[in-house]
Amino acid sequence: MKTTKDLARELGLLRQRRNVGNDRFSKKRPRSNCQQFSYLIILDYESTCWEQKKFQTQEIIEFPAVLLNTSTGIVESEFHYYVMPEEQPMLSDFCKQLTGITQEQVDNGIPLRLCLRKFSHWLDKLQKEKGLVFDPPSEDSTEASYTTFVTWSDWDLGTCLLNECKRKQLLKPSQLNNWIDLRATYRKFYDRKPNGLNGALQDLGIEFEGREHSGIVDARNTATLAYRMMCDGCVMKITKSLNKGVKTSIIQLKI
């Protein structure tokens, strides 16, 4: 026998609760004519760190990236390597506990120079397979598969990678000069300060999946958050550019 609640649900009088953790696979989609980016590449580096030495020089030890289709919410490709630190090869106990990365993983990792080369090849492959375009789109751009990078704060590309490349005299891919700071975008769009990535997800009723401070896991969860924000009507715009003469701003739209 059907309950009153069952009948009300069938008649559309009662809202069903969605599992927002699987929001990327729901029928809800951002309006295609609002999003200028067909794809977003989410980065989340893990670096050497110490409990007491907060201003110690840091090196990347995990280099993950995930390719998010903004129309479907599906991660279509991933890039992931552990990186061998060269300036201070031994990880601190604090670093190993925080990130879950072992000394063996970084000892068997690849130097950042080689990792950047492999990353460039991955980007080249995506450009050929999916027609990705990394130039900032104009306001009326609709044809090309425009793409940019997303990070949780400006630290990954504006501090960590930038400083390490300068110290080691490494050439980083020029595409990494533009990105979206999702933390700043989240704060602007929802008009509230998020308590970290996990807190931002929790505020939207989404459960963080996996181990926090694992780079690849954080990147996947950031992709989940970015897609949910687009479903809520947030239009993603580049917020930071290292290219001279390029103006950036956070633009939002609630649908």
Question: From first to last of its 255 residues, what are the pLDDT tens digits of the chain?
Answer: 544 444 444 444 333 333 333 444 344 554 445 899 999 999 999 999 999 877 689 999 999 999 999 999 999 999 999 999 999 999 999 999 999 999 999 999 999 999 999 999 999 999 999 999 998 776 655 568 999 999 999 999 999 999 999 999 999 999 999 999 999 999 999 999 999 999 999 999 999 999 999 999 999 999 999 999 999 999 999 999 998 755 554 444 443
CA distance 208 to 218: 9
In a domain? residue 217: yes
Active site residue 129: no
- Domain of residue 233 covers 35-241
Q: Answer yes or no: are the C-beta atoms of 44 and 222 closer than 8 Å.
A: yes
In a domain? residue 252: no
Predicted TM-score (pTM) of the model is 0.84
CA distance 35 to 237: 9
> Which residue in the block uniquely carries the two structure tokens 């559309």?
12
Active site residue 139: no
Q: How many domains does the chain have?
A: 1
CATH classification at residue 195: 3.30.420.10
Q: Answer yes or no: are the C-beta atoms of 220 and 148 closer than 8 Å.
A: no
In a domain? residue 27: no
DSSP tally for the chain: helices H, then strands E:
9, 8
Amino acid at the residue 76: E
In a domain? residue 161: yes
In a domain? residue 236: yes
Kindly state the DSSP code that residue 136 receives in the 8-state scheme. P
In a domain? residue 43: yes
Q: Give the Å distances, CA to CA, from 211 to 102, 112, 200, 214.
A: 14, 24, 16, 6
In a domain? residue 10: no
Q: Answer yes or no: are the C-beta atoms of 240 and 178 closer than 8 Å.
A: yes
pLDDT of residue 236: 97
In a domain? residue 19: no
**From 46, 59, 62, 164, active-site residue:** 46
